[in-house]
Chains A and B, each alone.
Chain A
Amino acid sequence: DAKTTQPNSMESNEEEPVHLPCNHSTISGTDYIHWYRQLPSQGPEYVIHGLTSNVNNRMASLAIAEDRKSSTLILHRATLRDAAVYYCILRGTTSGTYKYIFGTGTRLKVLA
């Protein structure tokens, strides 16, 4: 099954951009890259996903490397409410029988 690797934790100052990296060197050609975040005491929440091209939505941007072996979630201006654990996962029909595997994620701390 395709796996992802993320740093355990990162810190950012409020109002500054945050770049959260994810490595997925075993990604298959049709795997989508998904990002979720989990706020304390809540279920994970969908953030963004993409296949090959960079993607933007109201929450964040997703930058995907040309070889697709890595990606970066970009929060343009971090707020205290963005403090959460961010998970990067791969979803696709060739990544192993629909087992969508979460890694341990990156705990983002936002400093006021």
Chain B
Amino acid sequence: EAQVTQNPRYLITVTGKKLTVTCSQNMNHEYMSWYRQDPGLGLRQIYYSMNVEVTDKGDVPEGYKVSRKEKRNFPLILESPSPNQTSLYFCASSFLGQGSYGYTFGSGTRLTVV
């Protein structure tokens, strides 16, 4: 089944403890992206990647890192999480194709930083 898989689904952590949220897709998509969703603010793009070893900042990249060493994986790294990074995170992927392809989203990771 074609899908984007995020892990974990739920995570509670303490301030400053490094964590990684994994994202994997099985559709050979070039484009992958991370979003965070907060009440009243909609979905905001954190980082995106157009292919292996090609990443760029979205609208809210501060406090996050990403890497794209393989086409299928795009982990989101929080080196020193803070409470303002408590949010619902979504990974998404698509073919590039000049914008003519739709996104497939993962099921989300709910992160709580205390």
Interface residues, chain A, CB within 8 Å of chain B? 30-32, 34, 36, 42-46, 49, 51, 87, 90-93, 95, 97-105
Total A-B pairs, Cβ < 8 A: 67
Contact of A92 among B35, B99, B108 (CB under 8 A): B99
Further contacts, 16 of them, CB under 8 A, given A90-B99, A104-B41 = A30-B98, A32-B98, A34-B102, A42-B108, A44-B92, A44-B103, A51-B100, A91-B100, A92-B98, A92-B99, A93-B99, A97-B56, A98-B50, A101-B59, A104-B42, A105-B42
- Main secondary structure, interface of A, reads loop
- Chain A residue numbers with a CB within 8 Å of B82 are none
The answer on a CB contact under 8 Å between B45 and A101 is yes
Q: Does B33 contact A (CB under 8 A)?
A: yes
User: Which residues in B have some Cβ–Cβ distance to A below 8 Å?
Assistant: 31, 33, 35, 40-45, 48, 50, 56, 58-59, 90, 92, 96, 98-100, 102-108
Q: Are B99 and A91 in contact (CB under 8 A)?
A: yes
- What residues of chain A lie closer than 8 Å to B58, measured between beta carbons? 99
Please determine whether A87 and B59 come into contact, CB atoms closer than 8 angstroms.
no
Given the known interface contacts A43-B108, A99-B58, the answer about A104 and B40 at a Cβ–Cβ threshold of 8 Å is yes
